[in-house]
Copies of this chain bind each other. A is one copy, B any other.
């Protein structure tokens, strides 16, 4: 566990250049998004290339420096939110429209989840976070306020062979945004054997992080399905076990634990080796947000909801429709 202070955004800029670049960024943001000037106009106004303007605009969009708020609720979605709340006894549900094949659902869900998360952050709060693409999108949509009294901890171990995504990225980013402390469950998500799990837990700060996690006020998690697209499935450890997991009735994972259609942890050796708090412990956390969508994830999401592991849900139309069938 380390203290994270402020290593989030476009960092490696030195002295004068950094200020200048930030200044240009801010000006571009205003001229383009508020003023509606054309990229070429901005370029000549600022004496830089259109290309640079173009790139900066792209950055601004994705790094959350400009945020677009849509004030037109989609009636269908609102209806589904209510029905989901009632059907699964949830405290809050947000359904966003599904985007066709292209513009990926993950991002839109993540952004909506970020808003829900932001609304629940308060000073002194302890937040337990998982990882995954959806969650990392949420990070761009948080307003960076200072909550130095708060703390963040990662709910689950990391991947050793990082496939592009740093698995602690979400926790780091959140702690950075909040200016709060961050505790890592610095271990692989799957340890070699059940014994080594016990060994690790007794060791190090892992025990402390786990203790902290159990006293968290809010959990922010996603879940994975069984398709080869899933981040978790791509890890070697899981790939080796995928067939036996399927045979055991697994429909997907929550915090690395594979669940059956009813949300029960399936009987499989892999589930003995997970370095993360258990779904049952997750359910004991006072408040929690599950962010997952896409029709193909509906089976896992349904499993998680049926078992009552989480209190709030952010998903998309396609998944919501499946959940309501």
Contact = CB atoms under 8 A, between A and B. Distances in A.
Closest 9 CB pairs of A and B: A35-B103, A35-B99, A26-B72, A30-B97, A36-B103, A67-B69, A37-B103, A26-B74, A33-B68
Interface size class on chain A is 35 or more
A206 to B, nearest CB: 36
Nearest to A69: B67
Given A41-B102, A74-B23, A35 B97 contact: yes
Nearest to A62: B36
Contact of A34 (B31, B38, B108): B108
A74 B30 contact: yes
Contacts of A102: 35, 37-38, 41
A26 B108 contact: no
Given A23-B75, A75-B23, A31 B70 contact: no
A111 to B, nearest CB: 7
A103 B66 contact: no
A99 B70 CA distance: 25
A47 interface: no
Nearest to A97: B30
A12 interface: no
With a 10 A CB-CB cut-off, give which of A27, A75, A99 has the most chain B CB atoms: A99
A97 B65 contact: no
A164 interface: no
A64 interface: yes
Interface in A280-325: none
B68 A68 contact: yes
Contacts of A111: 34
Contacts of A68: 33-34, 66-69
A127 interface: no
A149 to B, nearest CB: 23
A29 interface: yes
A143 interface: yes
A185 interface: no
A72 B37 contact: no
Contacts of A71: 64-67, 143
A162 interface: no
12 contacts: A25-B72, A26-B74, A26-B75, A30-B108, A33-B70, A34-B68, A35-B108, A36-B107, A37-B102, A65-B71, A66-B69, A66-B71
Contacts of A22: 72
